[in-house]
Structure 1
Amino acid sequence: MKSNGGLLTGGASFVGRRRELAMARKALIRGRLLTLTGAGGVGKTRLALQIVEHVKGTFRDGVGVVELGTLETGELLESAVASALGLRDAGPDPMNVLVDHMSGKRMLLVLDNCEHLFSICAPFVDRLLRVAPRLRILVTSRQTLGVYGEQVLTVRPLAVPDPARPLGEIARHDAVRLLEDRMADVLPGFSLAAGNACRVARLAQRLEGVPLAIELAAARLRTMSLDQLIRELDKPIDVLAADTCATLPRHHSVRATTEWSFGLCSAAEQRLWARLSMFPAGADLDTAEAVCSGDGIDAADVLDLLAGLVDKSVLCCDRRERGLRYRMLESLRAYGCERLAPSEKNLLRGRYVDHYRQLVEGSQIDRIVPDQLERYRRLQVELPNVRVALEACLSTPPLTRVGLDIASALWCYWLLAGSLLEGRYWLERGLDLVREPGRTRATALWADSMLALRQGDLVIALPRLEECLDLARRPGNEAVLPYAIGTAGVAAYSSGDHERGLSLLQESLAVHRAGENVDGVMLNLYYASAYGSVGHPGRAAEFGEELLALCEKHHARVSRAYAQLALGVARWNLGDCRRAEALVTSAAMFTGEVNDRWCLTQCLEVLAWIAGARGEHWRAAGLMGAAHALWQTMGASPERLWYHAAWHEHCREQARRALGGRAFATAFRQGARLGQDRAVSYAVAG
């Protein structure tokens, strides 16, 4: 659980703030809520993460750091916090799941960059503190929350010296130490000395000790001398106040230095800075070229312009498996948003939406292709940017249908990521707006029904599914029909009618086979194997074997894990414990590694049954506890899944009788506290 931070949370060393660190540690002992407040760019996020490093050992249940700067809308605050804490989906009421999760835990929750969600964060924090007596919360915000018991630590600029003082005294000031450190990054070998101390102190004074201002100014030493830099900063600058907070004196140096840094960029670099502010999760080169080029920026020049903004410390460059990614500190992104004219933003919106529509459609995980895992990871990285595209679509009437198409194409991602609540949020917003009885609405109806069924929400799923079946039988919507029939089969199983469920799944499978739709065949084989494993285990095993062979043929690693799980459950019901364990253990190892919680949770559940069958009741109880913690995080339960319910109850009662109520509760509780990584290790250790 960690924040994506920004420029000042990267690999650069942390300098100073000993007084603030000591005060923060005492405050977190004395009270339960501490807010770090101060100007943008003063270093609140960096200080918060340093505080975490100092105090994390005192919190038995760990530290959760939640970056809220990339969250554009407050409606998803609770589910975003739940997701960052590993509660990948919190069901229809994420606040209740958060309360259940935190109520008995001794942990620290860090909420970074809260100011834009102030009106929602304040009551959210207040409720958590009331129901979780051992919880501590650390907030960074330009505005205090005003919650009862809130302690406020104002993060001020770093101390600056009088340039006339001796070298030793100048060197002790934090602003000078940070400036020296950053100058050495730009000018290898640079160090503070008698010959430059006065000028360095003067520069630190001119920048008023603000870390972001120091970062931006030091970057200019690549192209100008120290004396030139001081002269440039001494020139009058038109400080544009973005809001009332920016008019306060301590905010002027941040604003002025940002304005000055913007002014030193070329016209093309300025345009790119402003355009990149649309991307809360940053962008790679291909995306920057696709969305940001044109109208003053040649696509061939984008790489050089990105390099120029990196050199000026406007952008931070991260190395990832898929290449370089460029991101911006929230303060600089906010400034860029101000510089993006409404007409230009409207022009770019179409490109932005089109880019992410294509990215999502090209990254669908419910395709039996070799790069399934890469698609999943791509969507994980791009999700904050995809949210912006979804919000833009659903807030712009001509684009609502596109937004609903994007949300529907993500249905499998929402499932694997355990983000069923968020998926339903976007789908149901779109369904409220797109009323035309066409393919877009029909597809969204079955996607929303499927997610609701996984949560056991039959009240919503069944009427949506009924409408979907009606629309799918109309001309032009025929491609949706087999998916609607297959989902109806899952609904029948969920309602307890396994004969009808199997019949509908076989009907859907036949249509997919006739149309040579291998992706549809894959989905229906999974449903038929998993859901049919209790009522028709022999037939379910045949479906599972076919599915596993299909996934291996197409090198579809994500689907292969689901095939192993479904076949494992079928083999278990046929009494083949050894094959079931091998299949499910393999699936657990893979899904634990890639953070596919939906499959992993089910694997832990099945491995608990196997342990119980061997008489290893303590282990069975522990695995059930580990699974229980994950079931809770997803707002789901084994009782709501046809193929888990009976065996779950049998395993639980068997272990309770063998161990006794108190010992069972102890083992169960220990398993629930393992956390995902340790739970996987425990499960696969055998």
Structure 2
Amino acid sequence: MTFLLDKSTFIGRRWELSAARKALSRTRLLTLTGPGGVGKTRLALRLAENLRNKYRDGVEVIELATLETGELLEPAVAEALGLRGVHPDPMGLLVEHLSHRRTLLVLDNCEHLDTRCAHFVERLLHATPRLQVLVTSRHSLGVNGEQVLPVPPLSVPEPVPEPVPGLGEVQAGPALPEEARAGPRTPSRTVREAARHDSVRLFVERAAHVVPGFSLNAGNFACVVRLVRRLEGIPLAIELAAARLRTLSLEELAYELDRRFDVLATGGTMALPRHQTLRATIEWSFRLCSPEERRLWARLSMFAGGVDLDTAETVCSREGIDQADVLDLLAGLVDKSVLCRGGLGFRMLESLRAYGCEQLTPAERQWLRRRFVGHYRELTETHRTDQLVHDQLDRYLALRKELPNIRVALQACLDEPALAPLGLGTASAMWCFWVLAGALTEGRYWLERGLELVPEPGRARATALWADSMLALRQGDLDAALPLLEDCRAIAGRSGNEDLVPYAVRTAGVAACTAGDTGRGLALLRESLALHRSLNDMDGLMFNLYFAAAYGSTEDPRLAAEFGEELLALSESHHALVSRAYAQFALGVARWNLGDYEQAEALLTSAAQFTGEIDDRWCLTQCLEVLAWIAGARDEHERAAELLGAAHALWQAAGASPERLCYHAAWHERCTRQARHALGKPAFTSAFRHGAKLGVDQAVTYAIRPPETQPELRHLS
């Protein structure tokens, strides 16, 4: 979430909070509507925090402003809920996950996805009877059963009569027009009465951030009242105005706003509608910036997820902005509350970002888009997570932070055919990221859109074909994977593409194993291994060793253990932490099949701890599964049942099951059968359900603690 100032501060809104609570007691869908900058997000977040204890299965807040296309709505929501899985139908996965949960789902900033979001919410509510949804949008969704709560601006005081000169009061600025002074017969006359209004309280609080010691008093309250009335109580407009106290006195600020708004009013209607009031305030703030600050504001509007200093210097410096000046310009925009600190470094509210985007000239927009796309193409290439490097984990975390901006770059490539090859290369370079993040559906979306726009049978297409095929195979979608793989192998077989052959063969091996033909699959994986070795391709070798060790663990556990040992040694020699965790898992499964329970447990607990810390649900789930088998083999059947339950919850969240993996299926069935027989059905069910309710963090803690400490842990949940 993005806020101009400290997000912990929340002023007023008692009536709205009460009305929203009452509405949610009688409806399953509540939409908070209102113009930009009115405070819908702040209200929704405070409401969600206040209601957290009312929902047994939690409150989930999902920010949609950075989502560039509605086609990614379902996978984005699923990923935000921790459903980072292999299921090719994210909507089905969401329905399965939420169908029996008492949850409040908050969807923030939905207006740009209106039709898609309405359809999504309607389907979700129909299929999940206990779910409630809270939406913020500039307009209603139009869904049956929706209750709409308009969010008004903050309350403003009645106008203060102009002081009579000579009575000891300073007249601040010109008088308001007669129609603005008209009001009830009993206007606010005291500081105390003015301070009761939320708009005044917000202005004073924000002003105190800019001018330490600022407070409302008899000498300034009339000017403050005039200001907040001019700004119609719109929170964002008030915050932008208060930020100007760094360079203007209170009286000068009121005068500047009066002058600006009077010019606008004479050009149209006498009274400015609220959306025009906010726009006028933003425009006024824009005009008061230096020319360089204006250019940077406009150029930063490209960054949906925020921006750090280095990226701002790289992308935005040119034609009127010197790279050496970017830091000072960023500081200036922070001082003016155009930017706030957070996320990658600097972020901009959506209303300000939208205005900045409008200020880009066509020529500026064109070169900026190309520089933006080029930057993120280079970033994804230099941050590949499929390479044996010491900063493997740092690369993954950096890509996760930059994902909203990468999405903007990918969408820009789809919108401009000349950039399509760059987009395809970007999506391909991220194939391993899509796997680790559990964003398989999103990865396939970008790859397949890019493949449609790049039909030429060259290296870029071949790479994207095997990457897309790998993602489809992880989702168990053989029907989609096999044609992609055939096209890839045809291109790789052409002269000059010899280095692509091992990747095509490797993917074919994974496809065969996925289809149940493990013998043929392992033969292809060994063939690919030899090819990678001949080319001295250590990165490709890394993945081949993993697949050969995992899929071969039940067929030939000794050979699988050799592959696992080689992968572990390779990962450790390069300090590649993510690869090491997968090596530990694959070797652990092989050791299990060889009957070496102690070594298997040590490897798997280490992998579970690491993958739990980085939230890699796929590897973690498999580690918990095999640790359950080890507990069962030691006759610790209650622990086995609980670990099976913990793994089951994660299998479900991933839209997967151990029965679908050849190296899990038989052992899973055997462990479940033995634990149920040893404990009896009621005790097994109780332990299994207890494990399923642990949640990720407690499941990891339970899995990696020594068995003798487990009884105490059972009481934590």
What range is the shorter-chain TM-score in? Answer: over 0.9
Residues 131-142 of structure 1 mapped to structure 2, 5 A cutoff = 131-142=127-138
Q: 1:365 aligns with which of 380, 385, 390?
A: 385
The change in CA–CA distance for 1:248 and 1:410 in structure 2 (over 3 A counts) is farther
Q: 1:396 is matched by which residue type in structure 2?
A: E
> How far is 1:106 from its partner?
0.4
Is 1:268 the counterpart of 2:264 in the alignment? no
The separation in 1 between residues aligned to 2:399 and 2:554, in whole angstroms, is: 34
The separation in 1 between residues aligned to 2:5 and 2:667, in whole angstroms, is: 48
Residue 73 of structure 2 corresponds to 77
Is 1:520 the counterpart of 2:540 in the alignment? yes
> How far is 1:8 from its partner?
4.3
Residue 571 of structure 2 corresponds to 551
Q: 1:167 is matched by which residue type in structure 2?
A: V
Is 1:169 the counterpart of 2:166 in the alignment? no
The change in CA–CA distance for 1:248 and 1:593 in structure 2 (over 3 A counts) is farther
The answer to whether the 8 A contact 1:238-1:256 is kept is: no
> How far is 1:196 from its partner?
1.7
The separation in 2 between residues aligned to 1:639 and 1:467, in whole angstroms, is: 30
Corresponding residue SS for 1:147: coil
Is 1:180 the counterpart of 2:200 in the alignment? no
Q: TM-score, normalised by structure 1?
A: 0.95
Residue 13 of structure 1 corresponds to 9
Is 1:305 the counterpart of 2:320 in the alignment? no
Residue 307 of structure 2 corresponds to 283
Task: Give aligned pairs, total.
Answer: 673
Structure 2: give runs of 5+ residues left out of the alignment.
161-188, 266-270, 708-717
The separation in 2 between residues aligned to 1:309 and 1:441, in whole angstroms, is: 42
Is 1:593 the counterpart of 2:613 in the alignment? yes
The sequence identity of aligned pairs, in percent, is 68
> How far is 1:398 from its partner?
1.6
The answer to whether the 8 A contact 1:512-1:520 is kept is: yes
The answer to whether the 8 A contact 2:4-2:340 is kept is: no
The change in CA–CA distance for 1:125 and 1:446 in structure 2 (over 3 A counts) is same
> How far is 1:495 from its partner?
2.4
Q: 2:485 is matched by which residue type in structure 1?
A: L
- 1:320-339 alpha-carbon deviations (Å, 9 max, x no partner): 6xxx6111011111111111
The change in CA–CA distance for 1:326 and 1:149 in structure 2 (over 3 A counts) is same
Q: 1:267 is matched by which residue type in structure 2?
A: P
Residues 105-184 of structure 1 mapped to structure 2, 5 A cutoff = 105-164=101-160, 165-184=189-208
Residue 244 of structure 1 corresponds to none
Q: 2:245 is matched by which residue type in structure 1?
A: L
Q: 1:41 aligns with which of 15, 37, 47?
A: 37
Residues 479-490 of structure 1 mapped to structure 2, 5 A cutoff = 479-490=499-510
The separation in 2 between residues aligned to 1:191 and 1:369, in whole angstroms, is: 55
The separation in 1 between residues aligned to 2:30 and 2:411, in whole angstroms, is: 32
Residue 551 of structure 2 corresponds to 531
Q: 2:273 aligns with which of 238, 244, 249?
A: 249
The answer to whether the 8 A contact 2:88-2:477 is kept is: no
Corresponding residue SS for 1:64: strand
Residues 251-400 of structure 1 mapped to structure 2, 5 A cutoff = 251-318=275-342, 325-400=345-420
The answer to whether the 8 A contact 1:404-1:440 is kept is: yes
- 1:101-148 alpha-carbon deviations (Å, 9 max, x no partner): 111000100000001111011121111111211111110000111112
Corresponding residue SS for 2:62: strand
Q: 2:242 is matched by which residue type in structure 1?
A: A
Residue 500 of structure 1 corresponds to 520
The answer to whether the 8 A contact 2:260-2:284 is kept is: no
> How far is 1:632 from its partner?
2.8
Corresponding residue SS for 1:642: coil
Structure 1: give runs of 5+ residues left out of the alignment.
242-246
Corresponding residue SS for 1:148: coil
The separation in 1 between residues aligned to 2:130 and 2:692, in whole angstroms, is: 18
Query: Mean alpha-carbon deviation: is it higher for 504-513 or for 373-382?
Result: 504-513
Q: 1:517 is matched by which residue type in structure 2?
A: D
Corresponding residue SS for 2:635: coil
The answer to whether the 8 A contact 2:29-2:134 is kept is: yes
> How far is 1:18 from its partner?
1.1
Residue 206 of structure 1 corresponds to 230
How big is the alpha-carbon RMSD for the aligned residues of Structure 1 and Structure 2? 1.8
Residue 49 of structure 2 corresponds to 53
Residue 230 of structure 1 corresponds to 254
> How far is 1:248 from its partner?
7.6
The separation in 2 between residues aligned to 1:384 and 1:639, in whole angstroms, is: 35
The separation in 1 between residues aligned to 2:138 and 2:320, in whole angstroms, is: 35
Query: Mean alpha-carbon deviation: is it higher for 210-219 or for 164-173?
Result: 164-173
The separation in 1 between residues aligned to 2:375 and 2:542, in whole angstroms, is: 28
> How far is 1:9 from its partner?
7.2
The separation in 1 between residues aligned to 2:532 and 2:264, in whole angstroms, is: 60
Corresponding residue SS for 1:283: coil
> How far is 1:412 from its partner?
0.3
The answer to whether the 8 A contact 2:85-2:618 is kept is: no
Query: Mean alpha-carbon deviation: is it higher for 191-200 or for 213-222?
Result: 191-200
The separation in 2 between residues aligned to 1:34 and 1:196, in whole angstroms, is: 40
